[in-house]
Amino acid sequence: MIRGAVLHLLNEQPLLVDLMALPQAGDTCVVCTNVRLTSGKRPAWVAQGDHWFVFPLGQVRFVEVPAEMAQADRSDATAAADRRTGAGPEAEPELEFDEELLRRIRET
């Protein structure tokens, strides 16, 4: 879930929404919930805040996603893919320091 995305519609004020996932290249619509104005108030046309809304991409100028939420979504997707495949993060090799190189760096 991507919280706090800004949905910019054609000829309308931007809306703050929570996206189920980032729109992909083959998508025809944007699915979201928790629709509210940038002031935080619920628009008049929203009956309840917990409903899901579908906006056709033809009516969407662009979707603005906070960087930290996009990164969290990518890491969640990677973790889910790792669970499905049984793969985990690879262990990083231990770094060995060259004492002679470090000594020369300190001397300069």
- Domains, the chain, with CATH or none: 2-81 (2.30.30.100)
For residue 3, with 0-12 CB atoms within 10 Å meaning exposed, 13-18 middle and 19 or more buried, which class applies?
Answer: middle
pLDDT at res. 13 = 92
Distance CA 70, CA 19 (A): 11
Which pair of tokens denotes residue 42? 């619920």
What are the pLDDT digits (tens) for 19-76? 988 888 899 999 999 999 999 899 888 887 678 999 999 999 999 988 876 666 556 6
What's the predicted TM-score (pTM) here?
A: 0.61
